[in-house]
Amino acid sequence: MSDDKPKTRRPANTAFKQQRLKAWQPLLTPKSVLPTLFILGVIFAPLGAFLWHTSSSVSELVIDYTQCSKASPTLSAPTTSIAALSAPGVTAGPNVQWKYDNNQCTLVFTLPADFPKPVFLYYRLTNFYQNHRRYVKSFDPSQLKGLTVTADTIESNCKPLGKVPGSTNNAVYYPCGLIANSMFNDTISDLVTTGNNPTTYQFSDKGIAWPADASKYVKPANFDYATNVPPPNWVKKYGPAWNASNLPDLSRNERFQVWMRTAGLPNFRKLYGRNDNADLPAGTYQMTIDDNFVVTSFGGTKSVVISTVSFLGGKNPFLGYAYVAVGSVCILLSVIFAARHLYSPRKLGDHTYLSWNHQPPPNSGNN
């Protein structure tokens, strides 16, 4: 006879598998729910007010220059319709003038209050879907690390901008892919004061990318200029072919690294420069922008943003509003439930509230 035990699908007789573990099921009573709601409200509401106050301390200037290409070559009349200013103690909007000449947009604006350091310069785009699946996947990480990658691999990873169409030597784009090709290519100048003795407020392009991104980009050691060409949208700036004088070092190009970190929403801003050394004093400034990035093709807008930060980051009043709203709702519900409990209390565990206790008696019929 065999000593083998018969096979069975019955779980082992343990507390875990037989669901006999000790458990705690809280009993929600008015004495526990009402104080909890009130305490949450007392905590959330002041915390939200603090977050809102912190966000309000951030100074921010936003200028939409989408329609600047339609401006005349001479400065326009001052207007506040294309700009928004938010700064502590400032209620008036900024006066902005612009002109457009030789593919350059010149902005002249008045800053009514000082911006304390550090000061950050952003560009803002709307209706640009960097989160599209085909767009997000269109790059080759090995190529960006400076490694030698076959043309077929680049074509597979960077489609539709991998191989150069009609090339006889399997030439590829460097850097390849839709993300690199669509990089924001407007050139934003530093701020220059107007007047007899102009001074320049400079923004640095160093320290604007995430430190974790630095290891993703390496300058190629043995670059083949014959089989690597600039992407279509880079030709205007770099020319139709790479050479030793115009090949960019992507490991040092932090603006490129910032662009390659795709945004999750269609309306976003990306860091273009920063100044950690000096406050931005109040005054009238001029900024020149080389207008290269076309937004009309996807129905978007583009803006330049000058902003300070708080210890919580940039301006974001939504978080404060959300905490205040949740705290207020908790306090309101605790008051309503407390009044209901005081004026019409319900006995705990009263069986008369069960649904089957309210059913009418069965009809006995006609005698």
Residue 301 domain-assigned (yes or no):
yes
Are residues 320 and 273 both part of a single domain? no
- The total domain count for the chain is 2
Are residues 282 and 321 both part of a single domain? no
Strands (E), 126-236: 172-173, 187-188, 191-193, 200-201, 228-229
Percent of the chain surpassing pLDDT 90: 58
Q: How far apart are CA 15 and CA 299, in angstroms?
A: 62
Q: Tens-digit pLDDT profile for the chain (367 aa)? A: 556 667 778 888 898 888 888 888 877 888 888 999 999 999 999 999 999 999 888 999 999 999 998 888 888 887 777 888 888 877 777 888 899 998 999 999 988 888 999 999 999 999 999 999 999 999 999 999 999 889 999 999 998 999 999 888 889 999 999 999 999 999 999 999 987 888 999 999 999 999 888 889 999 988 889 899 999 999 999 999 999 899 999 999 999 999 999 999 999 999 999 999 999 998 899 999 999 999 999 999 999 999 999 888 888 889 999 999 999 999 999 999 999 888 888 777 777 777 776 666 666 555 5
Residue 332 domain-assigned (yes or no):
yes
Are residues 63 and 114 both part of a single domain? yes
Q: How far apart are CA 144 and CA 175, in angstroms?
A: 7
Residue 296 domain-assigned (yes or no):
yes
pTM over 0.85: no
Domain hosting residue 108, numbered range: 59-130+188-205+266-308
Angle between helical axes of 317-343 and 30-56 (0-180°, round to 10): 160
Residue 285 domain-assigned (yes or no):
yes
Are residues 63 and 200 both part of a single domain? yes
Asked if residue 213 lies in contact with residue 261, where contact means CB atoms within 8 angstroms, the answer is yes
